[in-house]
Amino acid sequence: MNDVKVVEALIAARPRLHVLLVGRHVSSLPRETLAMSPKLEAVAMREYEYTVRDWLEAKACGADLSGVDGLAYRCSSGGEIAVNREREPIGNLDELPFVTEIYKRFLTLRNYFYGHSLWPLVVFDTSRGCPYHCAFCVYPQTFSGHTMRYRSVSHVADEFDFVAREMPEIKTVMLEDDTFIVNKPRTLELARELIRRGNKLPFDANCRADIGAEKELLSTLHAAGARLFCVGFESGDVEVIHGMQKNNDDRRDAKYHDEALRFVQRCRESGIMVHGCFMVGNLNETPASMEKTLKFAKKLRPDTAQFFPIMVYPGTAAYREAKQRGYIQNEDWGAWLTKEGLHNSVVTLPHITHEELVSFCDRARRRFYLSPAYLTYKIVQSLKDRRELQRNLKGFFTLSRYLLFGTRHDRDNLAAPSTTQRHSEQRVRLHQIASAGRIESLHASAEECGDLVNTQNGTFD
C-alpha cells in the first residue's frame, strides 16, 4: 500500500497522531513529498537523528519549528510548506546510541534476511560518508555525504559485544558502511581490537572492488570475523564504469576489472567470500556492454550475485541526467515498484527498453545460478558448513520463483501513469525511532505531545 495512504489512514484513526518522514526520497524532494497530502506534517532531511530529537522537543513545548535544522514542515497557519536550513553532519558518531538496542526492543529480527548473510542478522554502521562520487549511489548524495566520519574503534567493538551478549540468536553482523575498508589503518585497528576481545560474531561488509587487496589486511580481517564482502562491481564494460564516475581518477578505469579480479582472488585465498552486485541500464549502456557484464560476473565467480536494472533515485546525479535526457518513463513513484513491492524498471535508453533490461537480468540470474559449476560449488559448501546450508536453502527458496518465472515487470504502470503522484519508497515503521539520538530522553516528550510515529525507509533489501 502507498505510504501516503497509510499515513492518511493512521491519522484518520488517530487524529492526535504526529508523523515525521525520513529517508532518501523525502530528503531529496521535501516540498514535493509534503504536497502529496495535507495530512503529511514534516520531513527530516538527510541525517535525521538530531532533527527527530529537536522536532520532538519543539512539539512537546510548543516551540517554533523554524529553529529545527534539517526540517521541512507544513505551517500550522495557512498550510504553507517551510524548508529550514540544512543540518550540519554529525561530527561525533559515538554520541548516537547503538541501533542494535532499538532492534532488540522494537523488531522481530527473524523477519529480516539478506540472501548473502547468515540468518538472523543485525545491521549497523561503523562510519558514514564515502569519498567516491558514483553517479547512481544514493546514500552519499542524499544522506551521509562524501566526507568520511568514523565511530571510534572501541565504540564499534562495544556494539559487537552488546550483540553477542544481548542477542545470542544473531548469526551475522552486516556492516552497512558505504565503503568499509576505505581507511586501511583504521580498518586494521578495528580488526585487531575485535581479535583482542575474542570476537566470535562473523561479519559482512560493503566494499569496493579496487581497494584493499593486501593479504595482511584481508587475513587479519578474516581472523577478526570477516565472512563476506558485498562488492559493487556494477559493469564489465570500461566505458560504462567511466560513465557512472565509479572512480575519482579516470586513469583507474582501465585497471578496474583487473583489480577486481585480483581482489576476489585474494579474498578467496583469505577465506572471505564475495557477493557481487551488477547493474544494467546505466546511461551509456548498450546490449554489448550488458553481455560483458554477465561474462565478467561468471569470470569473477562470487559466492552469490545480484543483477538489477538501475534505479535512478531522486537526488542523484544519475537521476538528474536521466531526466534531462528523457530516459525516465514514469515519475509516478508508485510505478517504480511492482505490485509485489520489488524494484520496477523505469529507465528506457535509446537502444534498450526497460522491458529488455528486466529480461536481461532474469537471463543473467539463470545463467549464473543454474550453471553446473555453480550448483556443484554450492552443494560442496553446504555439505561442509551447516550454517551455510541453512543460508543456501533459505536463499534458494526465495530466489527459485524468479529463476523459474522471471520478474513480474509492471508494464501497465509505466504505460499509463496515474494522475495522482504516489510515493512508495518509504516504509512505514510504527513506534520506531531507529538510531535517533538519546532515545530514552524522548519518551516523556512523546507522551506530552501525543502519539508519534517516525517512518523510516531503512529496510533490509
pLDDT of residue 440: 32
Candidates 231, 264, 229; CA nearest to 246 is 231
| CA–CA distance, 227 with 274 (Å, rounded to integer) | 9
* pLDDT single digits (tens) 176-228: 999 999 999 999 999 999 999 999 999 999 999 888 788 999 999 999 999 99
pLDDT of residue 114: 86
pLDDT of residue 401: 81
| CA–CA distance, 108 with 111 (Å, rounded to integer) | 6
Q: Domains of the chain (ranges plus CATH)?
A: 3-89+419-455 (no CATH), 98-328+345-409 (3.80.30.20)
Strand order in the sheet with 18-22: 81-83, 71-74, 42-44, 18-22, 452-455
Candidates 161, 175, 83; CA nearest to 127 is 175
Preceding omega of 372 cis (within 30 degrees of 0): no
Instruction: Retrieve residue 165's grid coordinates.
Output: 551478549
Give the angle 128-131-137 at the CA atoms, nearest 5°: 75
**Helix, strand, or coil here: 26?**
helix
| CA–CA distance, 425 with 228 (Å, rounded to integer) | 28
Kindly write down the DSSP assignment for every residue of 32-43, as one continuous string: HHHTT-TT--EE
pLDDT of residue 444: 32
| CA–CA distance, 134 with 144 (Å, rounded to integer) | 14
pLDDT of residue 454: 43
Percent helix, strand and coil across the chain, each to the nearest 5: 45, 15, 40
Segments in 67-204 forming alpha helices (H): 99-106, 138-139, 153-166, 184-196
| CA–CA distance, 362 with 280 (Å, rounded to integer) | 12
399: left (phi over 0), alpha (psi -120 to 50) or beta: alpha
Q: How distant, in Å, are the alpha carbons of 30, 37, 82, 218, 429 from that of 59?
A: 19, 20, 16, 49, 20
Cβ distance 312 to 136 under 8 Å?
yes
Candidates 276, 244, 232; CA nearest to 134 is 244
What letter would DSSP give residue 178?
S
| CA–CA distance, 178 with 206 (Å, rounded to integer) | 6
pLDDT of residue 251: 73
Q: What is the CA 33 to chain-centroid distance, rounded?
A: 21
pLDDT of residue 414: 53
Show the low-confidence residues of the chain (pLDDT under 50): 1, 415-461
State the pTM of this model: 0.85
